[in-house]
Amino acid sequence: MNPKVDWFFNKPTKWQKEYSELRKIVLDCGLTEELKWGCPCYTVGKSNIVVMHGFNNYCALLFMKGGFTERSKRNFNSANKKCAICKTNAVR
């Protein structure tokens, strides 16, 4: 965990519980946590892998360049050449 990113997870939002669970999942993958664009961004080396972001009706993990894989077209809510989006309304 990166203390510079803690403020994002500590601020009161409707997605606070989901953010916390998603953070645990992403950090268990061994990625480095950074703050980019005002959101948690997870990296390997200098490459951005996934960004966490909240919207009105859902929060999401946005996988960078995820649209380039065939798997992302099957497993994610949407995919394009810039990112694949995995949305959640609630973590169960």
Radius of gyration of the chain (CA): 13
Average pLDDT per block of 10 residues along the chain, 92 residues long: 91 90 91 93 89 87 66 48 53 50
DSSP secondary structure string for all residues of 3-70? TTTHHHHHS--TTHHHHHHHHHHHHTTTPEEEEETTEEEEEETTEEEEEEEE-SS-EEEEEETGGGSH
> What is this structure's pTM?
0.74
pLDDT at residue 1, as a whole number: 85
pLDDT at residue 58, as a whole number: 84
